[in-house]
Structure 1
Amino acid sequence: MHIPDGFLDAKTAVATSAASLAALKYSMTKVKEELGERDVPSLGVMAAFIFAAQMVNFPVMAGTSGHLLGAALAAILFGPYSASLILSAVLIVQCLFFQDGGITALGANILNMAVAATFVASCVYSAVKKLKFSGSEIAAVFLSAWISVLVGAFLTSVELALSGTVPLNAVIAPMMLVHAVIGIGEGIITCAAVGYVRRFLDGKSGACANSEAGGETN
C-alpha cells in the first residue's frame, strides 16, 4: 500500500501533501488540548510498537504478503488525532530510512494510512460499539481494523488512477481483494493487541487500588 516515487503525478502529490499537512496540523492542536506531558511517552511507545510490528509479514495469497497497519489499534487506544500523529511518525521513518514508500508520495501515504484510515477506524469503532449487542466490543475492534485497511487501499487506487499510472477499473478490484484478506489479519492482530493492553491496564489499576486501600488501613 506504500506508494513509491514515480507513481503519482505532480498535482496528486501536491494535493495529497497539502491535505495531509492540514490534517496533521489540526491533529497536533487537538492533541495539545487533550493530552498532558505524561501521555506523550505513551504515543512514542505505540509508534515503536507499530513500527516493529510492521516488520513482520504474513502470507496472504498468490505470493503476496501483508503486515499490520496499526491505524485502528492506535485510534482505539489513543483516539484518531493522536493516532494520526503516531502513524505519520512511523511512515516518515519508514520512508526516510528504509525507502518504504517514496518521498514524493509521502503526503499521499500519510493521507491514506495515517489520516483517513485512523479517522474511519475511529468512526466505525464508535458506531459498532454503540449497538451494544453481545460481542459488540470485539466486532467493533475487528471491523474498524478491517475497514481501515480497505480505506487505505481504496484511496491508493484512486490516487494511482488520477495520476494516470493505471486505470481505476484495472487496479481497484485486485487492490481491494488482496487488502480485504490482509484486513482479516489486521483485525485479528488488533483484537489481540487491544485485549492485551486493556487486560494489562485493568490489572495495573486494580493493583494500584489495592495498594491505596492497604495504605489507608495501615
Structure 2
Amino acid sequence: MHVPDGFINAPVSVAAGAVAATAVAVSLRGARRELDERTAPLAGLVAAFIFAVQMLNFPVAAGTSGHLLGGALAAILVGPCTGVLCVSVVLLMQGILFADGGLTALGVNITNMAVVTVVVAYAVFRGLLKVLPAGRRSVTVAAFAGALLSVPGAAVMFTLFYALGGTTDVPIGKVFTAMTGVHVLIGIGEAVITAATVGAVIAVRPDLVHGARGLAVPLKLRVDGRLVDAPAAAAAAAPVPAAARSTRPLWISGLVTALVLAGFVSYYASSSPDGLEKVAADQGIDAKAREHAAAGSPLADYSVKDVSDARLSGGLAGIIGVGGTVLVGTGIFWAVRRRRAEDLTATATAAPSAH
C-alpha cells in the first residue's frame, strides 16, 4: 500500500506529513516507557523483519498480490509507540533507498501504514484480551484479529486521503469499494503472518512480547503423580534459565530469518501488482502519478544496479535493506532508551532529599 508521488495533491500531502510528524514525535516519547535494555535491540530487529517480509508479496486474487504492512506485528511485539517507529523506519528506508513509496507521500504512507494499522490493531488486540481467557492462545487469537482489521482500516484511511486530495476524478464510492474489498483479502494474509510470528516468539520468550506482559505461567510440581501449582515460595526460588536472561539467541535467529527471507525467499514472491497498484490501474487513480525522486538509486525497485542476474540482484538488495534497517532502527531505539535513562537520572538528581 505504498502510495506513490502524484496520487494525493500537495496540500493534503503536507497535512498528512504534519499528522505523521506529530505521531512520530508522540511515539518517540511513548517509546521511552516501552523500551528497556533488552527490548531496544529487538525493536530494531522487528523493523528489519518487517522490511524482509514486506518483500514477500503473496497472491490474493487473479492478478493481485498483497504484502505485510506490519503495524499489528510491531505493536504487539514491542509496544504501540515503538511499533509506529518501527514501521516508519521501514517506510523511510524503502522510500529513500529503494524508490518504494513517494517521498512527497511519505506522510500519507506513515499515517496509513504505521499509525492507522497500529492504532486499529492494538485497540482490537487489547479489547479482545479483556474478554478472552488469560493465556498464550488468547494473545495469538487477539493478534490475528487485530492484524486482520488493521489492513482494511489503512485502506479506509487512504480512501479518506483520496476524497480530500485525490488528483483524479474517480468516484469516491468506487475507490472505497475497490480498496476495502481487496485489502480485506490482504488482511487475511497479514493476520496469518502476524499470529504465526507472535505465537512463535511467545513459545520461546513470552517475557519479551509487549502484548503478553503479565502473562505468567505458574510453576508446576508433581505430587503423587499429579501436577499442581507450586507454592509462592517455591516459585520465587525457582532458578531462571540463562536463555531467559539473554536476548542474543532470539536476536541472532530473527536476523538470520530476515536475511534468508529477503535474500533468498523474496525471489519467489508474487510479481503481481499489490492491492493499491491494482486498484489504481483499474480505476485510473494513477493517471497523474510521478516518477519517484529516487528512481535513479542504485537499489531502486529492490535490485542492485549493474548486477544482471535477477536472483542475485534482488537478493543482494534485500540483504542490504535488512542490514541497513536493523542498523538504523537499532541506533534510533538505543538513542530513545538512552534518553529515558538520562531523564530518570535527572529526575532522581533533582528530587529533594528527605530530612
Shared fold (TM-score, shorter chain, > 0.5): yes
Match of 1:185 in 2: 189
Match of 2:65 in 1: 65
> Structure 1 pair 209/182, CA: closer, same or farther in 2 (3 Å)?
same
What amino acid sits opposite 1:54 in the alignment? Q
* Native 8 Å contact 2:84 2:118 kept in 1: yes
CA–CA distance in structure 2, aligned partners of residues 169 and 28 of structure 1: 36
Q: CA deviation at 1:64?
A: 0.3
Q: Larger helix proportion, structure 1 or 2?
A: 1
Deviations 1:60-84 (A, max 9, x none): 1120000111111111111110000
Match of 1:27 in 2: 27
Are residues 1:9 and 2:25 paired? no
> Structure 1 pair 90/133, CA: closer, same or farther in 2 (3 Å)?
same
Match of 2:150 in 1: 148
Match of 1:174 in 2: 178
Q: Gaps (5+ residues) in structure 2? A: 209-218, 220-238, 244-355
Counterpart secondary structure, 1:7: coil
Q: CA deviation at 1:112?
A: 0.8
Match of 1:216 in 2: none
Q: CA deviation at 1:202?
A: 4.6
Counterpart secondary structure, 1:157: helix
Are residues 1:102 and 2:102 paired? yes
CA–CA distance in structure 2, aligned partners of residues 38 and 202 of structure 1: 13
Q: CA deviation at 1:167?
A: 2.5
What amino acid sits opposite 2:3 in the alignment? I
Q: CA deviation at 1:16?
A: 0.5
> Structure 1 pair 153/203, CA: closer, same or farther in 2 (3 Å)?
closer
Which residue of the other structure, out of 184, 195, 201, is the alignment partner of 1:197?
201
CA–CA distance in structure 2, aligned partners of residues 148 and 68 of structure 1: 11
Give the fraction of aligned pairs with identical amino acids, expressed as a percent: 47
TM-score under structure 1 length normalisation: 0.90
Are residues 1:88 and 2:88 paired? yes
Counterpart secondary structure, 1:174: helix
What amino acid sits opposite 2:108 in the alignment? A
Decide which moves more: 37-46 or 116-125.
37-46
Q: CA deviation at 1:191?
A: 0.8
Q: CA deviation at 1:96?
A: 0.9
Q: Gaps (5+ residues) in structure 1? A: 213-218
Larger RCO (CA under 8 A, 6+ residues apart): 2
Q: CA deviation at 1:30?
A: 1.3
What amino acid sits opposite 2:181 in the alignment? L
How large is the RMSD of aligned CA atoms in angstroms? 2.4
Q: CA deviation at 1:136?
A: 3.9
Counterpart secondary structure, 1:49: helix
CA–CA distance in structure 2, aligned partners of residues 167 and 105 of structure 1: 21
> Structure 1 pair 210/155, CA: closer, same or farther in 2 (3 Å)?
closer
* Native 8 Å contact 2:3 2:101 kept in 1: yes
Q: Who wins on radius of gyration, i.e. which is larger?
A: 2
* Native 8 Å contact 2:39 2:78 kept in 1: no
